[in-house]
Structure 1
């Protein structure tokens, strides 16, 4: 996600980006990343049955996933923040005379460079497992679990590639643009319910997430903050009430995680409620974000957002594998999923997940950094986006294996090459950065 910046003025420069950051939005983004990691961590279940490890989703068929999902379903807010920061970054980019193509090319690099390393290393690790004689079903399960969260990479890359066009739509007809997207999302849900064809729901991979990004535009331009506090409170309460009633009457699953695959308009209600509350308490959030310890944690996560997202699942899979191996070697039993003993172990499990994910981000982010001069060819950048999305969809549809990982890495390499300026001449004053952010939170 793009850098959180204040609205640019013609005098803004690339050197004053730090001064234009919104610390409150940075903090909320960091909390969203932590929320995603915690949610996935609590869903990883590992047991040993008949002398063999069993890996499964610990939340399936449980009562506790409903309240947990209402607490930790932060993906809608993630996209709202992406719209907020992306719009402001794009406007600053235009003030500096940058083109839409250059803006999108920079986004391609900030998203696909971390993905190139993550998918490449995971593919190599799966290859090692195969060569070591690890059972094929174990390797397939590991690859499947790793690939599940990668939907975010494909969808987010597409949303960011469309941001310049969507920004102009917002400038020309803000209410019409978000209204049309929301209407299309609702229509997809209705058609899905009437026909019983769940495949139709995947159309909302576009409509729901783009609408949420568009909602972030309203936060960025001050429209939401300009509303009376009572109005924003009513919006938050109305969205929450509508969501509760829709779940109670069976329109949506009360498990908000289930509403993400495929996406439903329940996520729009979540995003509206979260955005309204954020706007209501934004000044307090900013004040809290400036406390020294909070600011240090936020400063650590912000430039490593994408790296943490891409690496938290390999960390979890490694932890699960080591736990099973230890149990098999020592002869100790593992607690049944959702049992009292299992819950007693969750705090240590969650803290370890966060610590190891942070360590992975610290070690790997520097190798994923660096954004060269972007391409000036619109066709080349469009091709780069399509290759990046296609490579990721391949991992999602076919599963992550040594072969599909190698194929995706090849497409990512081609995409990154397409998104680099072919001319040997560099812009005046250009210097290759040593360690730019590896996350899509960086500005163009």
Structure 2
């Protein structure tokens, strides 16, 4: 372990902003923990389906405020993209970025296709198979949106974040205020996440994140706007989708989700200083660097880890609290917290098996020459 820590330290350029790497790792950790805490698998009339404690326990909505951290990921992605093409042509840079995003998909999709066929052949009901496969494959929307924004980086770099923010506000006005068509919300899938991405591009072009004053302004302004939208405009308090809810703040992103994301961007600015100090420690930096190297693998396989533990738990012959029981009480929440380390072990096993798919193939045109800054670029 000491040798690994030393190798990571030696491979890191002295001028690397470790705080950005820390923010990206925190955003992935937030998504993983959030999904594990607000997603339960329960049996209903012989069919396994996904359920959420947020539906039965709406007082847990603040959990979604802590763990819906996608805006920070897009913010950091924009900052990295702003300087990532330096020294390389757009096509070469884009090829490397998209290959890094989609190589891990080449593992999770066929593996789960085989699992789905095997379950159906074994007599598992289509409803159960669909529920499980949807949990695993639904996060692919995130990669598609990130790929679109990455490809559009030269255009997005010319946009002020206020423009996609205005688009989101207009779409919500038409959908909810004027009873417009639901399909119009698809515009917000890109426009909503373009706000933090464009913000990151702007900061990256201007030499890095702004000062703490801007961070506080974004945090307080975004928080106030989100609170106003929830209290007086009828937006849900939960920043993630809740089964059965009339409106989801995340599918597609609403104005409340975007203003909340701006608050998170402000919090990210305020966290940069403390993160940089913590990540001067070799062990802490090694952990963050390794998490970034496997970031997409972690994102794609964390639901599989939860499903695997849940399935193995059935071997006990009884419904285990927090694993197989309905998420309708505080006892379920306490029990689910106890299962998180087990999920983490299962996820570590998945990463050990599949993280190699994030590495460029030898001889591939998308493979960058060996560089010490290849940790997250």
> Deviation of residue 69 (structure 1)?
0.8
Superposed counterparts of 1:156-235, under 5 Å: 156-167=146-157, 169=158, 177-193=160-176, 194-222=178-206, 225-227=209-211, 229-235=212-218
SS of structure 1 residue aligned to 2:124: coil
Structure 2 partner of 1:76: 71
Match of 2:257 among 238, 246, 267: 267
1:278 and 1:137 map into 2 onto residues whose CA distance is: 40
Asked whether the 8 Å contact 1:236–1:274 carries over to 2, the reply is yes
1:224 and 1:102 map into 2 onto residues whose CA distance is: 24
1:331 and 1:274 map into 2 onto residues whose CA distance is: 38
Asked whether the 8 Å contact 1:106–1:374 carries over to 2, the reply is no
2:334 and 2:270 map into 1 onto residues whose CA distance is: 36
2:172 and 2:310 map into 1 onto residues whose CA distance is: 36
1:373 and 1:205 map into 2 onto residues whose CA distance is: 35
CA offset digits 1:216-255 (Å, max 9, x no partner) = 123323477445x445423321211111111111342111
Structure 2 partner of 1:21: 16
2:103 and 2:95 map into 1 onto residues whose CA distance is: 12
CA offset digits 1:91-114 (Å, max 9, x no partner) = x2xxx2x21111111122111111
CA offset digits 1:379-434 (Å, max 9, x no partner) = xxxxxxxxxxxxxxxxxxxxxxxxxxxxxxxxxxxxxxxxx7xxxxxxxxx99869
Asked whether the 8 Å contact 1:70–1:255 carries over to 2, the reply is yes
2:299 and 2:338 map into 1 onto residues whose CA distance is: 20
> Deviation of residue 35 (structure 1)?
0.8
1:243 and 1:56 map into 2 onto residues whose CA distance is: 28
2:310 and 2:124 map into 1 onto residues whose CA distance is: 15
Superposed counterparts of 1:373-392, under 5 Å: none
Q: Gapped runs of 5+ residues in structure 1?
A: 1-14, 170-175, 376-419, 421-429
Structure 2 partner of 1:55: 49
1:311 and 1:336 map into 2 onto residues whose CA distance is: 23
Give the direction of change, closer, same or farther, for the CA distance of 1:332–1:112 in structure 2 (3 Å limit). closer
Please tell me the root mean square deviation across aligned C-alpha atoms, in Å: 2.9
Asked whether the 8 Å contact 2:164–2:191 carries over to 1, the reply is yes
> Deviation of residue 43 (structure 1)?
2.1
Q: TM-score, with normalisation over the residues of structure 2? A: 0.85
Structure 2 partner of 1:239: 222
Give the direction of change, closer, same or farther, for the CA distance of 1:332–1:44 in structure 2 (3 Å limit). closer
Are 2:233 and 1:250 equivalent residues in the alignment?
yes
Match of 2:35 among 27, 40, 44: 40
Superposed counterparts of 1:355-366, under 5 Å: 355-366=345-356
CA offset digits 1:291-329 (Å, max 9, x no partner) = 344223212201000010011111122222223x235x3
Structure index of larger Rg: 1
Q: Gapped runs of 5+ residues in structure 2?
A: 1-9, 241-247
Structure 1 partner of 2:287: 297
Aligned length: 357
> Deviation of residue 360 (structure 1)?
1.4
Structure 2 partner of 1:384: none
Match of 1:110 among 100, 103, 124: 100
Asked whether the 8 Å contact 1:29–1:81 carries over to 2, the reply is yes
CA offset digits 1:176-209 (Å, max 9, x no partner) = 5322222212111111111243221111112111
Give the direction of change, closer, same or farther, for the CA distance of 1:208–1:132 in structure 2 (3 Å limit). same
CA offset digits 1:329-358 (Å, max 9, x no partner) = 357785442324322312222122223213
2:44 and 2:179 map into 1 onto residues whose CA distance is: 40
Asked whether the 8 Å contact 1:110–1:371 carries over to 2, the reply is no
> Deviation of residue 268 (structure 1)?
2.4
Give the direction of change, closer, same or farther, for the CA distance of 1:317–1:187 in structure 2 (3 Å limit). same
Asked whether the 8 Å contact 2:215–2:268 carries over to 1, the reply is no
Q: Which deviates more from structure 2 when the two are superposed, residues 17-26 or residues 197-206?
A: 17-26
Superposed counterparts of 1:83-94, under 5 Å: 83-90=78-85, 92=86
Give the direction of change, closer, same or farther, for the CA distance of 1:157–1:231 in structure 2 (3 Å limit). closer
Structure 2 partner of 1:414: none
Are 2:130 and 1:140 equivalent residues in the alignment?
yes
Structure 1 partner of 2:305: 315
1:190 and 1:224 map into 2 onto residues whose CA distance is: 34
